[in-house]
Amino acid sequence: MAIFLNKLFKIISILIIFHIIEVYARGPVYKPPDVERLTDRFNQLPVNQSYNVSFGGSNIHVTDSGTNADLSLDKFTGSGLVSKNNYYYGFFNAALKLPAGFTSGVVVAFYVINAPKCIHISNTSDSNSPNFQLSNADIYPHNHDEIDIELLGHEKRREWVLQTNMYGNGSVSTGREEKFYLWFDPTQTFHDYTILWNNHHILFLVDNIPVREVIHNNAISSVYPTKAMSVYTTIWDGSEWATRGGKYPVDYKFAPFVVTMRGIEMEGCVSNQKDKARSCLKSNASSTDFVDGEQFAKLTSQQRMGLEWARRKHMFYSYCQDKNRYKVLPQECNA
């Protein structure tokens, strides 16, 4: 009996040691503060109602009666969706479950930018780097606007990095990246990634926790996004830039890499493309100016605490601290 207990103790000790090593390798885990769930204020939309195919249609599969979409990357192509509408400002959310395993070089993006021609998604599961991004590069090739959430696969197993960025009026020569470690494993379940963009500020949120705020002030007004943009969700091969200059490229023996999306929310000022002048149409029953109103003009004290927590505990890079990159820091860094 003593021998059995001794062996059992050794096994448990080894398991504990391995667990400690794994936790240490992934960095410290912190419990996020409680914040208001902004995502609860908006209605969720089906994939087919909110998105069209941007590219890689054969790698996009809509499931669960249109509520979920699987986007995959293989050695032939990545895949992407683009919103049916263009927006002058808005609240945009996607709940994503990221690929597990070795994902170095894989980029999943959620962003805002202008849309190319698209094809319609059928309401079936066999419709032909998630990256969440807003942009209008196709309509304004030399002075486009863009707001990015990019999730970067890492050479370490199950580890992902969150990168945020913003361009206005084609200011691509000035990277405004900020990078964060996540406080959870994004491959185990769905987590919300959100962009709030209006005339007051741009907010990047993860599970409703603000991680970055870009305030619309005089220092940044010349490069603040103001033109109509579309919402994209994509997954693609970013080996050349996302992995220390290509040191750890995508290893396609682990393909396909699949990101699953649900929890789609899009509410804001919809561009009337038939009218060259700026105009706003209601995207649903709520007020067109709701997202640009007082409720979304400033952070609450609770949200401010969440922002400070995220930046203190999890941010590991900000362009405003990169004096090697910029001999003179961008004007907004000193505002």
Coil, strand, or helix at residue 300?
A: coil
Q: Which CATH fold would you assign to the domain 42-322+330-334? A: Jelly Rolls (2.60.120)
List residues with catalytic annotation.
146, 150
* pLDDT tens-digit readout, 179-221: 999 999 999 999 999 999 999 999 999 999 999 999 999 999 9
The DSSP bridge pattern shows strands 191-197 and 87-97 to be antiparallel
DSSP at 104: T
CA 134 to chain centre: 10
pTM over the 0.85 mark: no
Q: Look at residue 31 in the predicted model and tell me its pLDDT.
A: 84
* 140 has pLDDT over 50: yes
Closest CA to 109 of 74, 78, 155, 84: 78
